[in-house]
Amino acid sequence: MRRRRDAAQIPENPMEGIHQTEAAAEESEPPLKRARVDDGGAGAAAAGEEEEDRLSDLPDCLLEDILAHLGSRQAVQTSVLSRRWRNLWRGVRSVDIDVREFRVQGADGPRFDLDGIEDFADAILSPALPLGAMPELNALRMHLNEDGVTTNFQRWIRRALLRRPASVDIRYYPLRCISWPPAVSLTPPAAASRIKTLHLYGLRPTVVFGSNEFPALEDLHIERCAYAHGTIASPTLKKLALVSPINGSFVRVQHLTAPRLTSLRLVLPYGRSHEGVRVLTDAPLASLVDASISIVDTDPADQRNRRPNQIKVDFLVSVNDLLGRLTSVRNLDLTGLTATALLDSKSQEFPMFPYLTTLLLNECDIGNKYHVLNSILKNAPNLEQLRLHNCKFVGKARRKTGQIQSKEKTSKCSTSTLSSACNSLKSVEIKHTHDELPSRDLLLEFLKEIPHNQWRKRSIDEETTLIELHRR
């Protein structure tokens, strides 16, 4: 079998990665014993030919789909296997460039092969046919770090977008702890018209997430990014994740308009000295089914228990306002929410969630006498599964605005039980640290006024207890 390669298209020593992988596998696995066959090796040769024939019988479209699950460098390296594989990688409808694969051993230690990555990426993305005749890409994936920023990666993005990919995933992971996100522009705009999935990590996008720029966008994931546009407006968007935005002085308020949104995930940091990003919606998200909101207090541990200042209060109130726009959800996960974020500032009530069936409260404040949790259960009449993980018992019940709380009403609230607040509950999962007394009391509170033949308690692990309710 002759092995030929094009130096402009195939990286130097293309089989190096394959040989290293095979050597590592041989060292990690014990040697297999083979049965002795006295046929002069003819049986082994026939088996090898049969295995090779099976692979060769597969159609090109199937082999191209298999290569699409590899990185582009691995896909190109298969061209040296045989004539059958020589040009298969050209038909793969995905481009996956990972700069981590281009670190070579130098005289002074590992170094980044700048010429190698640029030659390789240019060869992968340089069209062998006119752009109109090139097949459209299903996916563009790029993994960058500080070495990759020194390359012409923006040129690679522009060339890949000319093939109108349906999915774009670009990630930047700095090698050092502190690194300002590099700017990235998805140009030309007309080339982004086919993008349905867009994932950006650690970047500074200069584009507007609007219907004119991304008319087909359905899945948007923005994580640890800094950007100057405070509006996400898309009539086609179905899934949105906004995780730990690094906005600083860029954006303080994120306006969201997505009438078809079905899944929402938010991870929002905040603190006493800096205002977190507030997410606002113009109208209730009526199509929303799954929602996850996590707020992260970035203050030092010794300052988190202090009374929140106005910056913190404004942010927590905005979280509660957002909850009031998500009342159509069926599955809701909340992490780190205080009583101020959970209860309305005026009515001191949790928003009404008529369709909610599954709720997770993780490290949330459920009140000194469970008044926050009681309000949640009362306003989720169809709740079936409740999970309480490492919840806090801090907030005290406050008097509703414009009402005078009588002694009679106080005594009545103190005798009400959590089990009677929501009759649709089927299971309650309580996770707590070992020997935490408040969690033990919470467990007993749920079992009040419930006959012994209508509930069963079992331990999932040392820190998790599950109560299964069988109401009659």
Residue ranges per structural domain of the chain: 56-92
pLDDT at 170: 94
pLDDT at 15: 39
User: Which is more confidently placed, 311 or 45?
Assistant: 311
* Res 32 pLDDT > 70: no
| Residue 359, SS3 per DSSP | strand
* Res 409 pLDDT > 60: no
| % of residues, the chain, pLDDT over 90 | 32
Radius of gyration of the chain measured on its C-alpha atoms? 29
H-helix or E-strand spanning residue 280 = strand 278-281
* Res 21 pLDDT > 80: no
Name the band, by pLDDT with cuts 50, 70 and 90, for residue 434: low
pLDDT at 425: 87
247 contacts 224 by C-beta, under 8 angstroms: no
Name the band, by pLDDT with cuts 50, 70 and 90, for residue 111: confident
Name the band, by pLDDT with cuts 50, 70 and 90, for residue 376: very high
Q: Which of 101-110, 269-278, 297-306, 453-462 has the lowest mean pLDDT?
A: 453-462
pLDDT at 92: 86
Per-residue pLDDT, averaged over 157-167, amounts to: 89
Question: Hey, how many other C-beta atoms are within 10 angstroms of the C-beta on 352?
Answer: 12
Mean pLDDT score across all residues of the chain:
79
* Res 402 pLDDT > 70: no
Q: Which of 2-11, 69-78, 249-258, 356-365 has the lowest mean pLDDT?
A: 2-11
pLDDT at 130: 65
pLDDT at 162: 86
d(CA 288, CA 330): 8
CA 263-187-179 angle, to 5 degrees, is: 75
pLDDT at 80: 84
User: Which is more confidently placed, 236 or 128?
Assistant: 236
* Res 24 pLDDT > 50: no
User: Which is more confidently placed, 235 or 43?
Assistant: 235
Q: Which of 128-132, 166-170, 328-332 has the lowest mean pLDDT?
A: 128-132
Nearest to 340 by CA among 376, 358, 361, 314: 314
Name the band, by pLDDT with cuts 50, 70 and 90, for residue 7: very low
* Res 2 pLDDT > 50: no
Length of the chain: 472
What is this structure's pTM?
Answer: 0.81
* Res 256 pLDDT > 70: yes
